[in-house]
Amino acid sequence: MAELFTGQARETPDADLAAAVGDVLGIVLPPPCVPGVAANVRLLEDHLAVLDA
Amino acid sequence: MISGAAAIAREVRAGRLRAVALAQQALDRIAAATDLLAITRTLADRAMREAAEVDAKVARGEDPGPLAGVPYAVKDLFDVAGLATTAGAARLECADPAGADAEAIVRLHAAGAVLVGTCNMDEFAYGFVTDNARWGITRNPHDRARFAGGSSGGSAAAVAAGLVAFALGSDTNGSIRVPASLCGVFGIRPTQGALPTTGTFPFVHSFDTIGAFARSAQDLALVDGVLRGDAQSGPCDFAPALLGGWFAQDLTAEMAAALAEFAQAIGPLPTVEIEGVAQARSAAFLITAYEGGRLHAPALRTDALSYDPATRDRLLAGAALPDRVHDRAMAFRAVFAARVQALLDRHGVLIAPAVAGPAPLIADPVVRVGGRDVPARANLGLYAQPVSFVGVPVVAAPLAVPGLPLGIQLIGAKGSDRALIAYAARLEAQGLLRVTPP
């Protein structure tokens, strides 16, 4: 399972990020959510990097 | 036609205008402007009933209140008794109707205002464009090919188009200031916690506020005073400064020129910078995702596909943020708030752009940040988000410029809301701020 918000999201496939988000929430994300959720995880990770800079 | 809130109330209280006629005129204007998609639901029965109450009071010689007969609308996250509060979401359209009005509506009703409709918004207030899967896109009255801004875009467009005299919205990260600026009207994000959010659909409890839109600073003061329960004006002897750095980057040429001209007219103004604005914006972004995600997590677990995809995927990702991220962002909030307060102690008011330039085209829904095109939905709040992050009041005001509207933020210390509006009124009287009809 991919680790979320550890600076690796840009190198992690969409499906793995979505699976990791689903794992946190205790669900399997519906397929239409996968690309959008992955993109948003990467965006949030970018913001976290700015905050931590 | 008399269209300002103060002027309408004066005429109704004097018995020279009838509230029922004004309510009918507002309903007619709304019916003739459905292409804007500013108003999602009209409340004809309620409006005529409230208006008749006002007229009856006038007939009996009673004071109907400072907003007597003034037609207004509310963003569809305010509870309206008997109506489902949709928050712009199809999934709530068949929710149980609200049992009572939101506290803000209760106060406006007591002041004689007449509620005529609910306004479009981004789903669950998560966006800056007012585009949702249920109702569609609210159009900018100044150019229907452009966004009205969001998330309170229906409210701003309704006021700009003259459908109503004022409207209520909410501002978590810029959702009053962005659409006010793109539609060319006044708006206020009040001091965090100053106005009642009871009976409104929440988004981010650390940042949520409600506030008003109006076509003049005087009307804004009138409505804000009713909502606040205190109509006293505040002193506004400020030594204003212009925010530079982050707030001077990525501006369009017309905004940069308009801002420079404005600063010259009231100055020359010193330019000051706040350390860590990029961090503040990112912290606000993360807190929003975390708190919004947690609010919606139970529904997302069982029914994710009932959400607008553009909202759903943001909320799902945010719901997965760990507590440590929220803690880190909140810790920075305290640091940044102290920096902002130090500048406000010195200047009283800080001036910044509300948006980078005019409203983006719906066909090209991007804004340019750091040399890259990024989605307008998430990034129109570039200059608004770092300010609301610390809970200070902000008046959004339209610069007196030709062409499409351009808005600025007048940023004050906590509790200086009334003084900020008074300051905006002074600048409006000087001709430096102006609402231009579409």
Tens of pLDDT, residue by residue over B14-29, are 999 999 999 999 999 9
Is residue B3 part of the annotated active site? The answer reads no
Q: How confident is the model at residue B75 (pLDDT cuts 50, 70, 90)?
A: very high
DSSP collapsed to 3 states, B56-92: HHHHHCCCCCCCCCCEEEEECCECCECCCCCCCCHHH
Inspect the interface and report whether the beta carbons of B313 and A20 lie closer than 8 Å: no
What is the pLDDT at residue B271? 97
**Can you read off the two tokens belonging to residue B279?**
């961090």
What is the pLDDT at residue B288? 98
Q: How confident is the model at residue B410 (pLDDT cuts 50, 70, 90)?
A: very high
**Can you read off the two tokens belonging to residue B28?**
């007619």
Do strands B372-375 and B366-369 pair parallel, antiparallel, or not at all (unpaired)?
antiparallel
Phi and psi torsions of B72, nearest 5°: -145, 170
How many beta-carbon contacts under 8 Å exist across A and B?
80
Q: Is the pLDDT of residue B63 over 90?
A: yes
Do strands B241-243 and B349-353 pair parallel, antiparallel, or not at all (unpaired)?
parallel
CA atoms within 13 A of residue B398's CA, in its CB half-sphere: 27
Respond yes or no on whether the N-terminal peptide bond of residue B402 is cis (omega within 30° of 0).
no
Q: How confident is the model at residue B3 (pLDDT cuts 50, 70, 90)?
A: confident
DSSP H or E stretch at residue B40: strand B39-42
Q: Give Cα B407 to chain centroid, integer Å.
A: 12
What is the count of structural domains for chain B?
A: 1
Sign of CA dihedral B414, B384, B150, B93: negative
Q: pLDDT digits over B172-184, tens only?
A: 999 999 999 999 9
**Is the CB of B99 inside 8 Å of chain A's CB atoms?**
no
Q: Which chain A residues contact residue B279 at CB under 8 A?
A: 50-51, 53
Phi and psi torsions of B367, nearest 5°: -130, 155
Partner residue opposite B314 with nearest CB, options A40, A50, A53:
A40
Is residue B175 part of the annotated active site? The answer reads yes
**CA nearest to B360, candidates B30, B89, B87, B127:** B127
Phi and psi torsions of B50, nearest 5°: -65, -40
Counting beta carbons within 10 angstroms of the beta carbon of residue A29, is it exposed (0 to 12), middle (13 to 18) or buried (19 or more)? buried
Interatomic CA distance for residues B360 and B347, integer angstroms: 32
**Is the CB of B239 inside 8 Å of chain A's CB atoms?**
no
Inspect the interface and report whether the beta carbons of A24 and B309 lie closer than 8 Å: no
**Can you read off the two tokens belonging to residue B436?**
């231009």
**Is the CB of A27 inside 8 Å of chain B's CB atoms?**
yes
Give the percent of chain B with pLDDT over 90.
97
Average pLDDT, chain B: 97
Q: Which chain B residues contact residue A5 at CB under 8 A?
A: 320-322, 325
Q: Give Cα B152 to chain centroid, integer Å.
A: 6
What is the pLDDT at residue B236? 78
CB A17 within 8 A of CB A2: yes
**Can you read off the two tokens belonging to residue B159?**
């006021």
Q: Is the pLDDT of residue B135 over 80?
A: yes
Interatomic CA distance for residues A40 and B135, integer angstroms: 24
Q: Is the pLDDT of residue B233 over 90?
A: no
pTM, to two decimals: 0.98
Q: How confident is the model at residue B258 (pLDDT cuts 50, 70, 90)?
A: very high
CB B244 within 8 A of CB B260: no
Q: Which chain A residues contact residue B328 at CB under 8 A?
A: 51-52
Q: Tell me the shortest Cα–Cα distance from B36 to chain A, in angstroms.
A: 29
Interatomic CA distance for residues B207 and B249, integer angstroms: 25
CA A43 to each of CA A49, B149, B374: distance values in angstroms, whole numbers, following the listed order: 10, 21, 11
Quote the ipTM score: 0.99
Partner residue opposite A33 with nearest CB, options B283, B313, B318:
B313
What is the pLDDT at residue B409? 98
Q: How confident is the model at residue B230 (pLDDT cuts 50, 70, 90)?
A: confident
What is the pLDDT at residue A1? 81
Q: What is the mean pLDDT of residues B402-423?
A: 97
Q: What is the mean pLDDT of residues B98-103?
A: 98
> B333 lies in which domain range?
1-438
Contact partners, residue B306, CB within 8 Å, separation at least 6: B90, B91, B299
Q: Is the pLDDT of residue B2 over 80?
A: no
Q: pLDDT digits over B293-339, tens only?
A: 999 999 999 999 999 999 999 999 999 999 999 999 999 999 999 99
The enclosing domain of B80 has a CATH number of: 3.90.1300.10
Give the percent of chain A with pLDDT over 70.
100
Residue-level length of chain A: 53
Inspect the interface and report whether the beta carbons of B282 and A21 lie closer than 8 Å: no
Q: Is the pLDDT of residue B434 over 80?
A: yes
Q: How confident is the model at residue B105 (pLDDT cuts 50, 70, 90)?
A: very high
Single-letter residue type at B335 = V
Interface test with A, best of B316, B327, B382, B389 (most A CBs within 10 A): B316
The distance in angstroms from the start CA to the end CA of chain A is 27
Q: Is the pLDDT of residue B429 over 80?
A: yes
Q: How confident is the model at residue B232 (pLDDT cuts 50, 70, 90)?
A: confident
Interatomic CA distance for residues B135 and B161, integer angstroms: 19
Inspect the interface and report whether the beta carbons of B286 and A44 lie closer than 8 Å: yes
The 3-state DSSP class for residue A49 equals helix
The 3-state DSSP class for residue B190 equals coil
Residue-level length of chain B: 438
What is the pLDDT at residue B438? 95
Q: Which chain A residues contact residue B301 at CB under 8 A?
A: 25-27
What is the pLDDT at residue B141? 98
Interatomic CA distance for residues B38 and B132, integer angstroms: 12
The 3-state DSSP class for residue B348 equals coil
CA atoms within 13 A of residue B141's CA, in its CB half-sphere: 27
Q: How many other C-beta atoms are found inside a 10 Å radius of the C-beta of residue B207?
A: 25
Counting beta carbons within 10 angstroms of the beta carbon of residue B366, is it exposed (0 to 12), middle (13 to 18) or buried (19 or more)? middle
Q: How confident is the model at residue B386 (pLDDT cuts 50, 70, 90)?
A: very high
Q: How many other C-beta atoms are found inside a 10 Å radius of the C-beta of residue B189?
A: 33
Q: How confident is the model at residue B104 (pLDDT cuts 50, 70, 90)?
A: very high
Residue scoring higher pLDDT (B2 or A6): A6
Q: Tell me the shortest Cα–Cα distance from A25 to chain B, in angstroms.
A: 7
What is the pLDDT at residue B231? 73
Q: How confident is the model at residue B93 (pLDDT cuts 50, 70, 90)?
A: very high
Inspect the interface and report whether the beta carbons of A5 and B305 lie closer than 8 Å: no
Q: What is the mean pLDDT of residues B255-265?
A: 97
